[in-house]
Amino acid sequence: MRKYLFRRLAQTIPVLFGISILVFAMLHLAPGDPADMLLGSEATAESVEKLRHDMGLDRPLAVQYVSWAGRMLQGDMGRSTVLNRQVLPEIIKRFKATLILTAGALTFAVVFGVGIGILAATYQHSVFDSVAMLIALAGVSMPIFFTGIAAILIFAMDLRWLPSSGMYPAAGGDIFDLLRHLVLPAVTLGAVSAAILARMTRSAMLEVIRQDYVRTARAKGVGERRVIWVHALRNASITVVTVLGMQFGYLLGGSVITETVFSWPGVGQMMVRAIQARDYPMVQGAVLLVATSFVFVNLAVDMLYAWLDPRIRYS
Binding site for other proteins (CB under 8 A): 14-15, 18-19, 21-23, 26, 29-31, 137-138, 140-146, 149-150, 152-153, 157, 196, 199-200, 203, 206-207, 242-243, 246, 248-254, 256-257, 260-261, 271-272, 274-276, 278, 280, 283, 287, 290-291, 294-295, 298
Cα 98 vs. chain centroid, distance in angstroms? 9
CB of 30 to other proteins, least distance (A): 5
Cβ neighbours for 140, distance < 8 A, ≥ 6 positions apart: 192, 195, 196, 199
Instruction: Tell me how far apart the alpha carbons of residues 199 and 132 are, in angstroms, rounded to a whole number.
Output: 9
Per the CB < 8 A criterion, the answer to whether 132 and 112 are in contact is no
Q: How many residues does the chain have?
A: 315
Per the CB < 8 A criterion, the answer to whether 190 and 108 are in contact is yes
Instruction: Tell me how far apart the alpha carbons of residues 166 and 147 are, in angstroms, rounded to a whole number.
Output: 17
CB of 221 to other proteins, least distance (A): 26
CB of 15 to other proteins, least distance (A): 5
Choice between 29 and 45, CB closer to other proteins: 29
Cα 111 vs. chain centroid, distance in angstroms? 17
CB of 246 to other proteins, least distance (A): 5
Choice between 69 and 178, CB closer to other proteins: 69
Per the CB < 8 A criterion, the answer to whether 81 and 67 are in contact is no
Instruction: Tell me how far apart the alpha carbons of residues 256 and 89 are, in angstroms, rounded to a whole number.
Output: 19
CB of 125 to other proteins, least distance (A): 13
Choice between 31 and 221, CB closer to other proteins: 31
- DSSP character at residue 170: T
CB of 153 to other proteins, least distance (A): 5
Per the CB < 8 A criterion, the answer to whether 164 and 152 are in contact is yes
Cβ neighbours for 49, distance < 8 A, ≥ 6 positions apart: 35
Choice between 33 and 207, CB closer to other proteins: 207
Choice between 70 and 253, CB closer to other proteins: 253
Instruction: Tell me how far apart the alpha carbons of residues 171 and 253 are, in angstroms, rounded to a whole number.
Output: 30
Cβ neighbours for 79, distance < 8 A, ≥ 6 positions apart: 85, 86, 87, 281
Choice between 160 and 220, CB closer to other proteins: 160
CB of 9 to other proteins, least distance (A): 14
For the beta carbon of residue 35, count every other beta carbon within 10 angstroms.
19
Choice between 142 and 178, CB closer to other proteins: 142
CB of 46 to other proteins, least distance (A): 27
Instruction: Tell me how far apart the alpha carbons of residues 77 and 121 are, in angstroms, rounded to a whole number.
Output: 49
Choice between 133 and 217, CB closer to other proteins: 133
